[in-house]
Amino acid sequence: MTLKTETPDNKPKAIILRTAGTNCDYETRYALEKAGADVDLVHVNQLVKDKGLLGSYHIFVLPGGFTYGDDIAAGKVLANQLRHHLLDELTRFVDDGKLVIGICNGFQVLIKMGLLPGINGTQPSSNEYRQEFTLTYNDSNKFEDRWVYLKSFSDKSVFIDKDCLLYVPIAHAEGKFVAGDGGELENLGKSGQIIFKYVDKDGNIANYPWNPNGSLDNIAGICDSTGRVLGMMPHPERYIEPTQHPRWTREGLKAEGDGIAIFRNAVNYVKEKMWQKRP
Amino acid sequence: MEKRIEVFTKANFPDAIGNEVASEIANIGITSVDEIRTVQVYLIDGELSKDEIKRICSELLIDGLTQDYACINGSSEQPADIQAGHRDNTVYTIEVTRKRGVMDPVESTVIKGIRDLGMSARSVKTAKRFLVAGSLSIEQVEAIADKVLANKIIEDVFINKDNLFYEDKNEAIEYVFHRHTLEILNADDEQLLSISQEGQLYLSLEEMKAVQKYFTTLGRNPTDVELETIAQTWSEHCMHKTFRGMIDCDGELIDNLLANTVMKATSELDKSWCVSVFKDNAGIIEFDENYNICFKVETHNHPSAIEPYGGANTGIGGVIRDTLGTGLGAKPILNTDVFCFGPLDIGQEMIPEGVLHPKRIFKGVVGGVRDYGNRMGIPTANGSIFFDERYTSNPIVYCGNVGLISRDKCEKKSHEGDLILLVGGRTGRDGIHGATFSSVELTHQSEVVSGGAVQIGDPIMEKKVTDALMKALDRSLYNNITDCGAGGLSSAVGEMGEELGAVVDLEKVPLKYDGLSYSEIWISEAQERMVLSVPPENMEEIREVFQREDVEATFIGEFTGDKRLRLRYKGEDVADIEMEFLHDGLPRIIRKAVWRSPSHEEPDIKVKKDYGEDLKKVLSSWNVCSKEWVIRQYDHEVQGGSVLKPLQGVDNDGPGDACIIRPVLSSGKGIIVSNGMNPKYGDIDPYHMAASAIDEALRQIISVGGNLEMVALLDNFSWGNTDKPVCLGGLVRAAKACYDMAIYYETPFISGKDSLNNEFKSGDKTISIPPTLLISAIGVMPDVTRAISMDVKSPDNLIYILGMTKDELGGSHYYDIHGFKGNSVPKVDREVGKKTMDLLANATGKGLVRSCHDCSEGGLAVAAAEMSFAGGYGIELDLSRVPVETGVDRDDIILFSESNSRFIVEVQPEKQKEFEETISGIPYGCMGKVLDNDVFTIQSQGGKNVISEKISDLKEAWQATLRL
């Protein structure tokens, strides 16, 4: 794979990480391209071999799927691999002001490797491993595919503004957000890192099936202390085209799907915030 | 010394698996279980220090928030004490581990994870330990183990044994080469048959004699692997001897039933958009200027009966490989699945010895398809489930896959000198015909390597193979490809080398474990393998492509050009036969078929004033009820292409007819996939069953906004024992209906499969499945924004019925709830049916239709009720407006008859005139309208309400049955 050299005229460059059991790469790529990014799909083996590669991108994407079969626990094995082989590169990537998004399995990976939530601004080092939150089995004990309403409760993330209501699907078995008992959740709320919560169609906090997995405090997505790393269980890349909506035959076709906002915000952030800084 | 690590959920977190298991135990009638906790066990072998083990546990194996672990270093230390709180009760432990040879992919993942931590482990073995608290007898504990926790076909169970260490798991058992030949040159008939039987070759006497004659000309006896190869090539599964053989059907001699019916329709129709039919792993039709699409459906019945999860796993995994091996390779884009089970509420006393309860089969099969499809990232968006007592001991599992293939990658051909490349999973004793191996003995040195006849699939391996293959495909690195399915390498290499000849060095095949003979290597049906034909100059490049994706790829031989099949093991010749004999040497025999119409008792059902209860009964019947519990467990929108999902309506839970996907997201073109099946009609007449199944599959294509211009069909016959003339007679009738319908509707068949001999012997009783023909339809939709869902959209819209309602309640669900079958099976009036579909397609194409639902199982009343509660609005209908055949005067016939070629359609009042003009010429009636309330009302022909129900009550009846 050959990479184009970066100039501000170019489109922001996104890298979708691939490994055994990655899926959702096709539609994630489509969403990013539609939002204006230049996208490469890169296998983790290649990234580990050529560590400098990561630096040529602006948006790092961990897509959905079942990496390594979700053996042991969802996202665990890739999280372990990234922590031990690419942690420095990823930390530098974030420190450089670049963006990271993990969707579904990607969120599970970010949480389990500790890149999220990074509450005190410190990124995890490979020596001290701590995990303050986790994503575990749904209360229903099974995989579920259903559409959910999300509301953004903070303006900390560069991926979404506050008070947006999004309709997107979830498709997972291990998406219940759980916190440790040392006040982690409170801190997360205080620092504005709780980005998405599951709500009903009017935007109110509600129980199953609105909260599809029993997540603590209805949490569907969180960001890190910089606002540049986002993890979320629902799949925004599955609602880009208006015909993806489950009721478009009733409600009519919208101009575009709700999910595009997240990718477009990311692309625009790179163009407006990162590239402006450079002469 | 191996370390035993036990991982368990902390006491303050719910144990998801434990809770699930607890409810399963309650289902089998054991109610005295207080709690179940599960323990994941890892036995790790390697030179690892205490600190290293601690890191492996805390960083890799547990989720520190919700889980804890215990490491047991030898028999002196105690295992995880998680019995707190149950001190007063007895706590039983049940440990379940996979039998030797049945691989758990988790084991290699853990080894990989340990490597990422900078350490190394020699081997990892997994087990599950269940701690069951409650007042239980040991018999009850054994029942829990047997009926809920483990399947002894693939797993070993240890009850109440603490501190288990399994030793010698990796002791290599060396295979000592010995060329095995069988004396057949001088064998008499009896000896020939006994060779066939003892070798589990399933070759008939005529076939054995043909083999004998061939080897007589060679002047030598065959080796075991030669006989195996012939048996595999000539098997019903691979050769379709019944369908392609000679049949004497009531005096009519049919030479090749398939060629004279299903395939004949295709060649006579000669559609230019049919790219490849009946020759590749799947049929191919055109899609757009860049791509074609391929479609294949397979059966996987017997393995699913024995080990439902693994059977369904390998079923879906196998059909996905068909897609990968179509042309030079297609991208899998959609799964379909259709299952037939015994009723889930059938009493345990009705289950024959050795048969799993339908509920267990159902959950296992659904889980198997779910886990494989979801992990592969392929949406499962179409399917159905059918229930009948006769499927109790012989369930039917159909798995289908649609693929997207570049137009220039649809042809393939091996060249002389091409190398044979085997990619994907390793080879073990998986699926070797019925061979049984004893299981590992606890803590004893075992000398016997066991292998499961049924294998658990490894979807991640298949996903890796898919990813790597797509890269090799892009670079045009190979000339030919096929999947390793039934018959293993024997089938794959045999097929690819049919015209060239091939030589294979069997010792090169990578093995899961040592000890396999050359013959076992050749016929193993290990999953997740593909065979490629690679020009020698691409050898290094293609090897590198697979290596980069962590997929093993091994060159095992060459396509030679000598038209012989030659096998070697470490330089020794073990097989050398001509391809021509292998593929054309099968003797043809004539099978007898007769057809006699059965006669069933005609019901005498009293006329009623209110059919509300009957409607609810039909809605809640197993076949009609909501399948949401299943559908939601499938990822039906991964890849982002879903346009019309399986669940529709205001609450996303109404039953859609067909699914529509958009395989190329930047294009507005779509694919419609549907299925039709009704075995209940087959009991009356397989001809009309087949015709109805085709009509139903096509109705669904039309219902969602498609048309018949570019629709292809697939046939999948699952039948009883066709050695019985009446059974074969039914098959002939069904095949003839396929021809008649396909020709008239101009919908060619492009692929198909048959599974015969689906019967179960219990003592002196034989239970045969009903004739079960699945028709799958696939159509191309030029503009997906024309799609129509089945839920009613807004009050005051008009409700039409299209098509003629006849006295056709034979085999209907209405008769079924009254305990009858009857004889008046629904027939297809092809002329009216085709015209109805074409005109309705015009109307949907013009945007005149707001919703449309196929009128099928349960008839008009069920279809209209589903539209009503899916849309969240009431409907009022008047039966006197329904076009009926002369003489139909009973309300229940109009409500519940399952006459074919009918649709219920919602039209806005302002479009009434244009709609009626568009459909002019077919029977139709404007029978009512959508209401701004929540009541579903139907008036009798005489003007009185015969049904008046709240839609929430109807929906509840429909949903409650399968809310597990």
DSSP string, B90-129: -EEEEEEEEPTT---HHHHHHHHHHHHTT---SEEEEEEE
A104 is catalytic: yes
Residue B576's DSSP bridge partners are B566
Confidence band for A8, pLDDT divided at 50, 70 and 90: low
pLDDT in tens, A38-90: 999 999 999 999 999 999 999 999 999 999 999 999 999 999 999 999 999 99
Q: Could you tell me the CA-to-CA distances from B49 to B68, B110, B112, B573 in Å, in that order?
A: 20, 17, 18, 49
* Least confident interval from B21-25, B245-249, B501-505: B21-25
Distance from CA of B208 to the nearest CA of A (A): 46
pLDDT in tens, B722-748: 999 999 999 999 999 999 999 999 999
Q: Are B322 and B336 in contact (CB under 8 A)?
A: no
* Least confident interval from A131-140, B635-644, B833-842, B950-959: A131-140
Q: Do A143 and B370 count as a contact with CB atoms less than 8 A apart?
A: yes
- CATH class in words for B3-159: alpha beta
Residue extents of the structural domains in chain A: 13-121+132-277
pLDDT in tens, B362-379: 999 999 999 999 999 999
Taking alpha carbons only, the member of B741, B757, B750, B725 closest to residue B687 is B741
Residue A144 is nearest to which of B376, B632, B662, comparing CB atoms?
B632
pLDDT at B446 over 50: no
**In whole angstroms, what is the distance from residue A107 CA to residue B514 CA?**
40
Strands (E), B354-507: 380-387, 396-406, 419-424, 480-483, 502-505
The active-site residue, picked from B86, B178, B180, B237, is B237
Residues 374-393 of B with CB under 8 A from A: 374-377
The per-residue pLDDT of chain A, averaged, comes to 91
Q: Does B647 touch chain A (CB under 8 A)?
A: yes
Confidence band for B307, pLDDT divided at 50, 70 and 90: confident
Q: Do A26 and B60 count as a contact with CB atoms less than 8 A apart?
A: no
Whole-number pLDDT of residue B74: 54
Whole-number pLDDT of residue B444: 27
Residue numbers in A near B375 (CB within 8 A): 21, 23, 66, 69-70
Residue numbers in B near A175 (CB within 8 A): none
Q: Do A81 and B113 count as a contact with CB atoms less than 8 A apart?
A: yes
What is the mean pLDDT of the segment spanning B817-835? 97
What is the mean pLDDT of the segment spanning B36-51? 92
Q: Are B674 and B694 in contact (CB under 8 A)?
A: no
pLDDT in tens, B862-901: 999 999 999 999 999 999 999 999 999 999 999 999 999 9
Whole-number pLDDT of residue B302: 79
What is the mean pLDDT of the segment spanning B788-794? 98
Whole-angstrom distance between the N-terminal and C-terminal Cα of chain B?
44
Whole-number pLDDT of residue A261: 98
- CATH class in words for A13-121+132-277: alpha beta
Confidence band for B438, pLDDT divided at 50, 70 and 90: very low
Q: Which residue type does A52 have?
A: G
Confidence band for A276, pLDDT divided at 50, 70 and 90: low
Whole-number pLDDT of residue B29: 85
Whole-number pLDDT of residue A4: 41
Whole-number pLDDT of residue B772: 96
pLDDT at B76 over 60: no
Whole-number pLDDT of residue B452: 44
Q: Count chain A–chain B contacts defined by CB atoms under 8 A.
A: 183
C-alpha B522, offset from chain centre: 26
pLDDT at B263 over 60: yes
Tell which wins on pLDDT, B87 or B647.
B647
Percent of the residues in chain A that have a pLDDT greater than 90, as a whole number? 85
What is the mean pLDDT of the segment spanning B922-935? 98
**In whole angstroms, what is the distance from residue B438 CA to residue B429 CA?**
13
For residue B102, give both structure tokens: 């049945």
Residue extents of the structural domains in chain B: 3-159
pLDDT at B938 over 90: yes
Q: Does B666 touch chain A (CB under 8 A)?
A: yes
- Cβ contacts of A70 within 8 Å, gap of 6 or more: A21, A76, A105, A174, B375
CA atoms within 13 A on the CB side of B340: 28
Whole-number pLDDT of residue A9: 63
Residues 441-480 of B with CB under 8 A from A: 458-460, 463-464, 467
Residue A246 is nearest to which of B105, B550, B645, comparing CB atoms?
B645
**In whole angstroms, what is the distance from residue B478 CA to residue B532 CA?**
7
Q: Do A27 and B665 count as a contact with CB atoms less than 8 A apart?
A: yes
DSSP B668-737: --EEEEEEE--HHHHTT-HHHHHHHHHHHHHHHHHHTT--GGGEEEEEEEE-S-TTSHHHHHHHHHHHHH
Q: Does B644 touch chain A (CB under 8 A)?
A: yes
A172 is catalytic: no
Confidence band for B28, pLDDT divided at 50, 70 and 90: confident
pLDDT in tens, A229-241: 999 999 999 999 9
Q: Are B130 and B38 in contact (CB under 8 A)?
A: yes
Distance from CA of B376 to the nearest CA of A (A): 7
Taking alpha carbons only, the member of B423, B575, B409, B403 closest to residue B505 is B575
The per-residue pLDDT of chain B, averaged, comes to 92
Confidence band for A2, pLDDT divided at 50, 70 and 90: very low
Residue B550 is nearest to which of A26, A45, A143, comparing CB atoms?
A45
Confidence band for B941, pLDDT divided at 50, 70 and 90: very high
pLDDT in tens, A83-95: 999 999 999 999 9
Question: What is the DSSP pairing of strand A99-103 with strand A229-232?
Answer: parallel
Q: Are B389 and B342 in contact (CB under 8 A)?
A: yes
Closest residue in chain B to residue A238, using alpha carbons only? B640
The active-site residue, picked from B300, B688, B813, B853, is B300
CB atoms within 10 A of CB A89: 17
Whole-number pLDDT of residue B305: 85
Residues 598-637 of B with CB under 8 A from A: 631-637
**In whole angstroms, what is the distance from residue A90 CA to residue A98 CA?**
10
**In whole angstroms, what is the distance from residue A41 CA to residue A25 CA?**
8
For residue B461, give both structure tokens: 């391996």
Residues 771-810 of B with CB under 8 A from A: 784-785, 787-789, 791, 793
**In whole angstroms, what is the distance from residue B951 CA to residue B946 CA?**
15
**In whole angstroms, what is the distance from residue A148 CA to residue A219 CA?**
12
Whole-number pLDDT of residue B433: 57
Q: Do B63 and A131 count as a contact with CB atoms less than 8 A apart?
A: yes
**In whole angstroms, what is the distance from residue A207 CA to residue A200 CA?**
8
Q: Do B638 and A64 count as a contact with CB atoms less than 8 A apart?
A: yes
Residue numbers in A near B704 (CB within 8 A): none
The interface predicted TM-score of the complex, written ipTM, equals: 0.94
Closest residue in chain B to residue A136, using alpha carbons only? B66
Confidence band for B35, pLDDT divided at 50, 70 and 90: confident
In eight-state DSSP terms, residue A120 is T
Confidence band for B765, pLDDT divided at 50, 70 and 90: confident
Residue A231's DSSP bridge partners are A102, A222
Taking alpha carbons only, the member of A67, A117, A104 closest to residue A232 is A104
pLDDT at B650 over 60: yes
**In whole angstroms, what is the distance from residue B341 CA to residue B393 CA?**
9
B433 is catalytic: no
pLDDT in tens, B488-540: 999 999 999 999 999 999 999 999 888 889 999 999 989 999 999 999 999 99
pLDDT in tens, B87-127: 556 788 899 988 877 778 899 999 999 999 999 999 899 99
* Least confident interval from A29-38, B94-103, B156-165: B156-165
Whole-number pLDDT of residue B571: 95
pLDDT in tens, B379-398: 999 999 999 999 999 999 99
Closest residue in chain B to residue A82, using alpha carbons only? B116
pLDDT in tens, A99-149: 999 999 999 999 999 899 875 444 455 455 667 899 999 999 899 999 999
